[in-house]
Amino acid sequence: MTETQPTAEKEPRTVVVTGGSRGIGLAIVQRFLAEGDRVATIDRTARPVEGVLSTRADMTDTAAIDAAFTQIEAELGPVDVLVANAGITRDQLLMRMTDDEFDSVVDTNLTGTFRCVRRASKGMIRRRGGRIVMISSVVGLYGGAGQVNYSASKSALVGMARSITRELGGRGITANVVAPGFIETPMTAELGEDRQKQYKAAIPAGRFAQPEEVAGVVRFLASDDAAYVSGAVIPVDGGLGMGH
């Protein structure tokens, strides 16, 4: 019989989660806290979360994002893991969608992610290591009526992660995309019972997911076990997108 070796304790890391003070982001924050990591959030409203450095920046504001990272690095140390999770929807049918409805969603979800990745990668490149996880959506690759803006912003994250992988893969940096399906959050709770039933019938798992189920996959992508996973899209959707 072979003896099981105790797992070596891992060094705490500095983890930044955008949109980390509620919903899926908060579940991700709690997962990293449970791992013993140092965690900071960046939101528009800096809602305090126990044990977390809460900073405030709008994803559309480059200077504010840069300042938030500077504060985080000063207080918690160089950023090891970035989880770009902040995102919005402004659903509208294509024919009625205004430029502003399109641009604001792309500016927050896509350009906001770019702004954070660019800032976080500075230190990662210098230290030759880092993990970038972007939260997309099943809608990014599956499409969604009334979501031309949102879907475009979320599918573009795949190209971004793959380009980062090609650019920075040789420096110990990975970039991956997590594509959640229907998650039990206030957003999905607002759907009427009939709509929920309809959606659940289309999901092979027959249910919506808990935010913690997304957090577990994010945590895996940030772990040593995922050191050779990069440029991947990992769906967490109960089979809805069939792996895309």
Separation CA 37–CA 140 (nearest Å): 30
Q: CB of residue 8 vs ligand NDP: minimum separation in angstroms?
A: 33
Q: CB of residue 26 vs ligand NDP: minimum separation in angstroms?
A: 8
- Interface residue with ligand NDP, options 9, 45, 96, 193 (CB under 6 A): 45
| 69 near ligand NDP, judged by CB under 6 A | no
| 87 near ligand NDP, judged by CB under 6 A | yes
Residues 6+ apart with CB under 8 A from 196: 188, 208
Q: CB of residue 230 vs ligand NDP: minimum separation in angstroms?
A: 20
The site for ligand NDP, by CB under 6 A, has a size of 25
SS3 151: helix
Q: CB of residue 185 vs ligand NDP: minimum separation in angstroms?
A: 4
DSSP-derived secondary structure for 5-62: PPPPPPPP-EEEEETTTSHHHHHHHHHHHHTT-EEEEEESS----TTEEEEE--TT-H
- Span interacting with ligand NDP, options 1-9, 52-60, 115-123, 195-203, rule CB under 6 A: 52-60
Contacts 24+ apart (CB under 8 A), 100-109: 101/149, 102/148, 102/149, 102/152, 104/60, 105/149, 105/150, 105/153, 106/149, 106/152, 106/153, 106/156, 107/59, 107/60, 108/59, 108/60, 108/153, 109/59, 109/150, 109/153, 109/154, 109/157
- Interface residue with ligand NDP, options 149, 185, 215, 241 (CB under 6 A): 185
Known catalytic membership, residue 199: no
Contact track, ligand NDP, 145-184, x by CB under 6 A = -----------------------------------x-xx-
Q: Closer to ligand NDP at the Cβ: 25 or 130?
A: 25
Q: Within 13 A of 199's CA, how many CA atoms are on the CB side?
A: 20
| 86 near ligand NDP, judged by CB under 6 A | yes
| 235 near ligand NDP, judged by CB under 6 A | no
Q: CB of residue 55 vs ligand NDP: minimum separation in angstroms?
A: 10
State the catalytic residues: 150
Binding site for ligand NDP (CB under 6 A): 19, 21-25, 43-45, 58-60, 85-88, 108, 135, 137, 180, 182-183, 185, 187-188
